[in-house]
Amino acid sequence: MTSKYHNVESVRTEGDFICLTVDGRNYTGKLSEHSDLLANAVDQARNHSVISPSGYGIHWPDLDEDLAIDALIGSKHRYKHPSSTRVA
């Protein structure tokens, strides 16, 4: 059995922010710092995301956009963060 990179518990957007719960920790980052496509998309497209089966990334099928979890949370795989971290 292959282990997951991350356990992504939730993904949501609020205005220009993406809010994630990953591996039991909360992260918030500006969409515009990660993807102009997501930052300029309508809420319906932003809120339709799919987590990769491996836990490596998030895919927005309506936008054909993909982002790696590590890039969103500013870490390398399995790095231990404080319980709530703000993404740069």
Provide the CA 66 distance to its chain's centre, in angstroms: 9
Read off the pLDDT of each residue in 22-27 and give the average, rounded to a whole number.
Answer: 94
* CATH number attached to the domain at 8-86: 3.30.2020.40
The tens digit of pLDDT for each residue in 46-58 reads 999 999 988 899 9
What pLDDT sits at residue 53? 87
What pLDDT sits at residue 43? 92
What pLDDT sits at residue 74? 85
Q: Listing from the earlier edge strand, what are the strands of the sheet with 84-86?
A: 8-14, 17-22, 25-30, 84-86
Report whether pLDDT(4) > 70: yes
Report whether pLDDT(42) > 60: yes
Task: Tell me the whole-structure pTM to 2 decimals.
Answer: 0.77
Number of C-beta neighbours around residue 55 at 10 A:
17
